């Protein structure tokens, strides 16, 4: 389905010194497979081959989803079924010369999220920032079930109905890196066991969607860093530093 000659490496196929070294990894998940080099960056040729294979894998999954949806229609269940399609993480396809996940770059954190409910007739694409922990309370509200009181997420059904909600951020974590994203910035801190940051990363998605210019240590953005750091620490959960 995909002509290899028409596939290109991403525009951010580079690792710049302004970005903390902690942000990068060795794409070790792939190195467990046969015919991958044990160290060093993947060659351009191998990187393009991996991108080609990923496109094929996505198309294969898409075909299987189509079979499920067709079966729901055939069995007369489509109008009584809520469907949620999402990914648990993004996937670097050569972004920052990385493959797989395991980072707090946008390419690792941004996931597909599609929700179909018989009660929502109008198809629409929303640009609100939501979290995967919002799925559970959304399903509860759609199904008319009271949400448990200890849920951290918030239903996105109001957004689907054209309304707004106060929450406008998402928080993600990988190892010592914890990040907060809003409609403008993506900010990451690497913290010790006491929650004190020892490395920082800030990208302006409006002017730098490829995340090539780390702004965290620039004087002009210190107020932004302070605000995002405060929001991150206030919303990463009461058990963040002392997990049960």
Q: pLDDT per residue over 153-202, tens digit each?
A: 999 999 999 898 888 899 999 999 999 999 999 999 999 988 899 999 99
Is residue 244 predicted with pLDDT exceeding 70? Answer: no
What DSSP string describes 24-46? ----HHHHTSTT--SSSPPPHHH
Residues of the chain with pLDDT > 70, as a percent, come to 99
Look at phi and psi of residue 186 and say left if phi exceeds 0, alpha if psi is from -120 to 50, else beta.
beta
What pTM does this model have? 0.92
What confidence category does residue 77 fall into, taking pLDDT thresholds of 50, 70 and 90? very high
Count the residues in the chain.
244
Q: Any residues with CB less than 8 A from the CB of 83 and at least 6 apart, and which?
A: 69, 72, 114, 115, 116, 117
> What's phi and psi for 87, nearest 5 deg?
-115, 150
**In which residue ranges of the chain is CATH 3.40.720.10 found?**
4-129+168-235
Mean pLDDT of the chain: 94
Is 3.40.720.10 the CATH number for 4-129+168-235? yes
Nearest to 36 by CA among 24, 55, 49: 49
Q: How far apart are the first and last CA of the chain?
A: 48
For 107-118, letters b (16+ CB in 10 Å) and e give bbbbeebebebe
CA angle, 211 then 216 then 221, to 5°: 105
pLDDT of residue 203: 98
HEC secondary structure over 70-85: HHHHHCCCHHHCCEEE
pLDDT at 174: 92
Average pLDDT over residues 3-22: 96
Tell me how far apart the alpha carbons of residues 85 and 93 are, in angstroms, rounded to a whole number.
21
């Amino acid at each position: 389905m995909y002509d290899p000659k028409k596939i290109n490496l991403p525009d951010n196929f580079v690792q710049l010194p302004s970005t903390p070294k902690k942000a990068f990894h060795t794409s070790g998940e792939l190195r467990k497979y046969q015919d991958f080099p044990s160290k060093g960056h993947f060659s351009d040729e191998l990187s393009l081959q991996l991108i080609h294979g990923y496109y094929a894998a996505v198309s294969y999954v898409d075909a299987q989803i189509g079979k499920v949806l067709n079966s729901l229609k055939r069995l007369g269940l489509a109008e009584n079924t809520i469907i949620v399609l999402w990914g648990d993480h993004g996937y670097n396809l050569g972004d920052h010369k990385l493959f797989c996940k395991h980072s707090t770059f946008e390419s690792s954190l941004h996931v597909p999220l599609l929700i179909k409910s018989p009660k929502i007739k109008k198809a629409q694409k929303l640009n609100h920032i939501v979290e995967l922990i919002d799925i559970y309370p959304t399903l509860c509200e759609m199904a008319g079930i009271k949400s448990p009181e200890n849920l951290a997420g918030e239903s996105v059904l109001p957004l689907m109905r054209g309304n707004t909600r106060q929450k406008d951020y998402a928080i993600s974590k990988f190892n010592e890196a914890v990040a907060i994203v809003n409609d403008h910035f993506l900010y990451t801190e690497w913290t010790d066991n006491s929650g004190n940051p020892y490395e920082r990363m800030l990208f302006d998605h409006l002017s730098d969607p490829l995340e090539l210019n780390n702004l965290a240590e620039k004087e002009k953005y210190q107020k932004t860093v302070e605000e995002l750091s405060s929001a991150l620490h206030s919303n990463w959960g009461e058990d963040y530093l002392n997990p049960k």
